[in-house]
Structure formats: structure tokens, C-alpha cells
Amino acid sequence: MDSQETAIAGKQLKTAMVLAAGLGERMRPLTLERPKPLIEVGGKPLIDWTLDRFAAAGIERVVVNTHYKAEMLEAHLRERSGTIRISHEAERLETGGGVTKALPLLGDEPFYVANSDSVWLDGPTPALDRMITAWDPDRMDVLLMLMSAPRSDYYDGPGDFLMDPSGRLAFRPDRRVVPYVYAGLHIASPHSFDGAPEGSFRLTKVWREAEARGRLFGLVHDGAWFHIGTPDAVEAADSQLDPRNARWLLR
């Protein structure tokens, strides 16, 4: 294999993780009878929006973590084609602890991580393709997909990040409003979890450590993004994501 082929091979991520173990407390009462990833929006369960994107991109192995109403979610996943591996959490581990527990299933290469309560619609180029094109393991430990806060459907907050012209990120300073919000998808190097604690912790711990090393980067999404975390957001997004809605037929 020559150097060009090696570079191309290095741009082909084959593994992804979907975070699906949350309790869905803000989504109650809808989550009293089912886990949040199985709530339907636009004609299909939330988690299937992400799994369908990964399948279309040729992702060979997807890991899904489960906890709340795990039996229901795992039964649904068994009905899908493709290789889906389950990382069951007997205790709630939060996002960072969930990925850390799943590392033996994820392997030694960089991987995608996606939230199960986010739905993205592609712009001119599929988001997964844009992400892997931008990924540079020589400079990056983590690459986050971002959304312009004013363009974010159902997001109401001060933003998450500042970004310099190179794409390097800094977390929002206290008492500041910043222009970019995390859009529920990122690429992570397994080395970014070196030294991670056991048990429950959030991914932001890993991201802040990458920021301190100057290796936290972002890419602004050029399509639409929906953060679906409450019943009101489900109702509003359901209409916009309905496949009969001509606005999104080509997305």
C-alpha cells in the first residue's frame, strides 16, 4: 500500500457509538413507557435517524449503550440489519463513563460518537463525509460537529464554544454568550480517554482535557439540526421531519 492509499484508508472510519442509556427525565411523560431513543419523530424512532445515517455511510460496527428500559431498546436493535453491539450499563455511567466502558468494543481506531436525541439533516455534502475529511489525527484528539446557535432548532441557551480560524475550540467563558453549540456528533481518538476514571462522568471532561492540549476542534454543520429533548420538541420536530414534508425530501 502506497502513502496515498494509506492516507485514504486512514480517512475511512468504520466504527461508531450511539449514546442511548439516558433516563430521559426531561422527556417525561413520554419516557414513562419507553426509552427516549424509541420515541418516534418524523415516522421513525429517534435512534433510527442516526443508525440509518451510519448504515448509509458504510459504518461496519455500531456500539449502542443501554440502561433505562434496556430490554425494549435491545429488542428493537435486534430487528435491524448490520452489526450492532450492545454495551449494557447496570448503573448509569453518563456519557463519558458510557464511552469508556465501551472502549473494548470500539477498538483502537478513531470512532464517531452520536447522541440518540439529535437528528441532523445533511447539507450539500453528508455530515459524516465532511467530518472525516476534516479529521486530522496529527492535530486533533476530538472533532465536534457544531451548529450556529441562532440556527439551532429547539435550542435556547448561551452556546457552548468559541472557535478560532483554524477550527480550534475553547469552552464558553462564564457569563458570556458564544456562537456555537454542540450538535450531537463527534469523532474521538481512543487515546483521548487515556487515564479516564472508572464510573460515571461526562464527555465534557474528556473535551476539556483535549482543549487544554490544544487538540479540541470543531466543524460547523451546513445542514439542519434538531435537538429533541422535550415533549414540545418532539411535537414540533415531528411535522418538520415528516417524509411527506417537501422541504426535506432531498435531505
Domain map of the chain by residue range? 3-240
Contact 52, 127 (CB under 8 A): no
Query: Phi first, then psi: what are they for 209, rounded to 5°?
Result: -70, -40
Q: Of 164, 138, 178, 137, whose CA–CA distance to 218 is shortest?
A: 164
> How many alpha carbons lie under 13 Å from residue 235 in its C-beta half-sphere?
5
Taking the CA atoms of residue 85, residue 108, residue 119 and residue 229 in that order, the dihedral angle to the nearest 10 degrees is 80
Give me the pLDDT at residue 180, please.
93
Q: Which residues contact 214 (CB under 8 A, 6 or more apart)?
A: 168
Contact between 153 and 224 (Cβ < 8 Å)? yes
Q: Copy the grid coordinates of residue 37.
A: 431513543
Evaluate the CA torsion angle 51, 116, 178, 233 in order and state its sign: positive
pTM over 0.85: yes
Q: In the CATH scheme, what is the homologous superfamily, with its name and number, of domain 3-240?
A: Spore Coat Polysaccharide Biosynthesis Protein SpsA; Chain A (3.90.550.10)
Query: What integer pLDDT is reported at residue 247 of this predicted model?
Result: 52
pLDDT one digit per residue (tens) for the chain, 251 residues? 333 333 334 468 999 999 999 987 888 887 888 899 999 988 899 999 999 999 999 999 999 999 999 999 999 999 987 789 999 999 999 999 999 999 999 999 999 999 999 999 998 999 999 999 999 999 999 999 999 876 666 666 788 899 999 999 999 998 888 889 999 999 999 999 999 998 999 999 999 999 999 999 999 999 889 888 888 888 877 777 776 654 544 44
Integer-rounded Cα radius of gyration of the chain? 17
